[in-house]
């Protein structure tokens, strides 16, 4: 496999490279590309665990690193000790990434930290990119002018299998409507609901949003269109059971089409 030249050069240039690995297709594809470009020389994968990170993502990262014999550092970025992050303002992601990248740059000890940002990410409101700039984070996919579709195509060519088809799944805190405090117990409930529904539906585009009005279960529009009323009621019941088992009580639950960033409320 030959990597795009700009991507290979970006990954080879640092003396030491640490990659922030969330468990999604972007960061895992970047890790596989770095392994190929650097021949496993001075390469470390870094994964932050917190209540906002689904257990499935952590398990995926651990399996990936172990299967390839790559060095993996598990860290606590410390964002839950940051009152600004917990308050969930419109720029919550900035405080999250500031804690993460600060932790990783200290861990890298003057090495370079890279993230799986792609060109499509630059067209969205992402306060975390400001934190990345402040900490000198490298974005190899952006340097190589690669979109999300390009990253998926590269992941397939690198033999990443099901990883290449993973639906986008940002951190669990992104499911909490702006202004609602980010609470670990509620993130665990959100993860439990999504896990229960994915056990039924598979790896589909799915979000459990914690809103001021209750919970909204969002499914891809095409998927919803193919489900009859009985099936939708069954999924709602399953979501309610998982919610109650994890402290959700009698929160109102609605099903609606997926809309990216729908829990984010602009000022």
Catalytic residues: 171
CA 86 to CA 78: how far, in whole Å?
11
Beta bridge partner(s), residue 216: 209, 254
Task: Please give the backbone phi and psi of residue 72, each rounded to the nearest 5 degrees, phi first.
Answer: -125, 125
How far apart, in Å, are the Cα atoms of 108 and each of 17, 26, 43, 188, 201?
8, 20, 10, 30, 39
Compute CA 224 distance to the chain's CA centroid, rounded to the nearest angstrom: 23
- Closest of 25, 12, 80 to residue 49, by C-alpha: 80
CA 66 to CA 53: how far, in whole Å?
19
Distant-in-sequence, close-in-space partners of 43: CB < 8 Å, separation ≥ 6: 17, 18, 19, 34, 35, 70, 71
Q: Rg (Cα) of the chain, in Å, rounded?
A: 19
* Beta pairing class for 253-257 and 43-48: unpaired
Contact 106, 116 (CB under 8 A): no
- Closest of 211, 221, 218, 169 to residue 186, by C-alpha: 211
Contact 85, 93 (CB under 8 A): no
């Amino acid at each position: 496999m030959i990597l795009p030249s700009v991507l290979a050069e970006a990954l080879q240039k640092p003396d030491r490279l640490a990659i922030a690995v969330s468990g999604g297709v972007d960061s895992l594809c970047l890790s596989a590309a770095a392994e190929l470009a650097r021949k496993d020389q001075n390469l470390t994968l870094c994964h932050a665990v917190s209540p906002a990170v689904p257990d499935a993502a952590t398990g995926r990262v651990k399996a990936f690193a172990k299967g390839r014999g790559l060095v993996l550092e598990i860290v606590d970025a410390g964002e839950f000790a940051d009152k600004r992050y917990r308050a969930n303002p419109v720029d919550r992601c900035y405080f999250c990434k500031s804690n993460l990248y600060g932790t990783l740059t200290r861990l890298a000890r003057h090495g370079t930290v890279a993230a799986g940002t792609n060109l499509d990410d630059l067209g969205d409101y992402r306060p975390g990119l400001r934190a990345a700039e402040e900490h000198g984070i490298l974005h190899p996919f952006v340097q190589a002018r690669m979109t999300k579709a390009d990253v998926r195509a590269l992941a397939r060519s690198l033999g990443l299998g099901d990883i290449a088809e993973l639906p986008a799944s940002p951190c669990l805190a992104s499911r909490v409507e702006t202004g609602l405090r980010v609470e670990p117990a509620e993130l665990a409930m959100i993860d439990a609901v999504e896990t229960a529904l994915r056990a039924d539906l598979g790896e589909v585009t799915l979000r459990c949003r914690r809103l001021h009005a209750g919970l909204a279960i969002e499914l891809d529009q095409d998927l919803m269109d193919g489900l009859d009323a009985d099936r939708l009621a069954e999924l709602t019941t399953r979501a309610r059971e998982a919610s109650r088992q994890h402290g959700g009580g009698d929160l109102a639950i609605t099903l609606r089409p997926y809309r990216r960033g729908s829990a984010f409320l602009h000022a």
